[in-house]
Structures are given as structure tokens and as C-alpha cells.
Amino acid sequence: MIMATARRRLYSRICIALALAGCALSAPASAQSDAEVRIKKLEAEVRALQRKVFPGSDGKYFEAEIARPATPVAAPATVTTGPVNDLMGRIDAVEGALARITAQSEDNANRMGKLEARLAAIEGGNAAPVVAPAAATTSADPKPASITGSVASNVAAMAATPAAKPSADRIAAVAAIERPASGDKAEDDYLYGYRLWEAKFYPEAAQQLKATVDKYPKGKRISYARNLLGRAYLDDGKPGTAAQVFLQNYQADKAGDRAADSLLYLGVAMTRLKETKRACVALAEFADTYPGEAAGRLASQYGSAKSAVKCN
């Protein structure tokens, strides 16, 4: 934006200089000739600067056609007429501004090149490791960035670090969990995640359920899978990550099979994060949106959740 504004101002000043040159036709021929040479030189610099600051669609930078002069060009001493003196003064000012813009653009290009090199080095040295099926997916669980107003607010994504490699005994125990083989791949993947969660292998269950959610986003078990994924994170001591999943499941389909569960457990996750106000918002919305569930299938869980937090 700054460069575009500078370019428009520069073109405007060149047009003024050219107009003044036309007004000075009655001046000595040598002065007019010098002005024309300097204006042509200035136009060439503008074209060079334009290619330098505004490269082509291929993203490459082009070298300028001319280099900056080592010393400023002095105005001819023979010019005595008023219009020509004014023209020379304006051209000197434009040339000075052009030199400063050129230097600034070169400095910016150099800084950008260094920044891109550093970014490439960082990206090249921090590729995400591949986690084995039985390995835990994350370690410490930070709080979500924000849940403001109602529970319908989005939660910012959080970074995760690889956990330690599981022991041989744990790998063997996980391998002993039988994989369903009904022929319905989506159903089998969900049920395997459920069996891992039921056996309290929470990291492995989360990994399996996350893969199921990603692979079958429109599957008939998607509401179940997302909710159970949140439960796996919650039971693994990661309420921040669990809150994100519960919120997503509730927002994605409020009539989903486990949307009510996710909204209720969102309140539980907020309570564990010591976010009392947000926990109360989630629990109140649960009671208002799903009164049948609050008084029926989820009555016990709802009672426990309310007793764990003090709402006004």
C-alpha cells in the first residue's frame, strides 16, 4: 500500500515537471535539452524501480537498469530563466525522493530474503513425527484460547507435543484389544475406538477416534465418535482439548445423537479448567436445549456436573 501511494505521487510529480517543461519552451535551447535528458533519465529510473518493487507474476525480482549515482547531479549554472529554474528544482526533489525509495525497497527486499531463509530452515527442521498406532498423541493440555459469551464461540486451535513412546507391556495390552470385523469399516473403526476407551487406553482411543472422525466426517456414527473423542481427551486429563471437541460436536449438529452429551460435558470440561462462568453457561444451555435429556438419560451426569460448580 505504501509503495503504491509513493508510485502515484511520483508519477504526479513527473507530470507536473513535464508540464513545466512545456511552459519553458522560450528558455535557452541548452537548458531545455538538459531538462529533457534528466526527465528521460528519471522516467527510466521509475520503470526500473517499478520492476524492482512490483515484480511480475512469477515472483522474481529484476535488477534495476541503472544504478544510483554516487553524487547528486548539480544543476547547470547557465540556467537563468525563472520557469527552467523551477523545473530543475522540482526534478532535483523528485530524484532525491526516488533515490530514497529505491534504497528502502532494496533494504526491504534484503530483509524479506533473510526472513524467508529462516522460515525455510525452521520448517525443514520441525516436521511432525509419525506416531505409532499405540502411542499417545499429546502430552500437556493447555486451556483453550477463549470461550466468550455463549458456548457457541469458537476455541482456538492448540499446539501439541509428542508423548513418550509407550512401554512394551502397554503395546502388548493394546494389541490384545480385539478389532471388530463386521464388514462395515466405519462402524468397526468407531467400535474399536470405543473398546480402547472402555479399557482405559485413553491416548490410543483418542488417536483411533480422531482417525475415524477425519475419515468418515459424514458417517452415521460421527456424532458418537466426536463425543467419545472428547470423552477420551477429558478422561486423559486434557480438558482444554476435550472442550474444543465437545463444542465442535454440539455446533456441527445440535440434533445429533450425542450433541446433548457434548454440551453437558463441555460444562464439565470448563469446570475442570476452572472457567466457572463458561461452565455455567454450558450447563444452563444444556438444560434449556435438552430438557428431556436433563431429566432422563443424562439426569445423573447433569446432577454431578451441577454439584461440581457454583452457578449464580
The DSSP secondary-structure symbol of 298 reads: T
Which pLDDT value is given to residue 130? 34
Q: Determine phi and psi for 76, rounding to 5 degrees.
A: -60, 140
Please compute the mean of the pLDDT values over residues 142-163 and round it to a whole number: 44
Q: What is the set of domains in the chain, with CATH numbers?
A: 2-125 (no CATH), 168-307 (1.25.40.10)
pLDDT band, very low/low/confident/very high, at 138 (cuts 50, 70, 90): very low
Which set of grid coordinates corresponds to residue 32? 531545455
Q: How does pLDDT run across 15-50, given as a tens digit for each residue?
A: 555 554 554 444 455 555 676 677 777 777 766 665
Which pLDDT value is given to residue 222? 97
CB-based contact 67:61 (threshold 8 Å): no
Which pLDDT value is given to residue 266? 97
CA distances from 119 to 55, 122, 123, 124, 128 (A): 21, 5, 6, 8, 16
Q: Determine phi and psi for 136, rounding to 5 degrees.
A: -75, 150
What's this model's pTM, rounded to 2 decimal places? 0.51
CB-based contact 219:225 (threshold 8 Å): yes
Q: How far is CA 148 from the centre of its chain?
A: 20
Q: Which residues contact 95 (CB under 8 A, 6 or more apart)?
A: 38, 42, 45, 72, 73
* Better-predicted residue by pLDDT, 118 or 230: 230
The DSSP secondary-structure symbol of 79 reads: -
Winning range, highest mean pLDDT, from 1-15, 105-119, 200-214? 200-214
Q: How far apart are CA 279 and CA 151, in angstroms?
A: 9
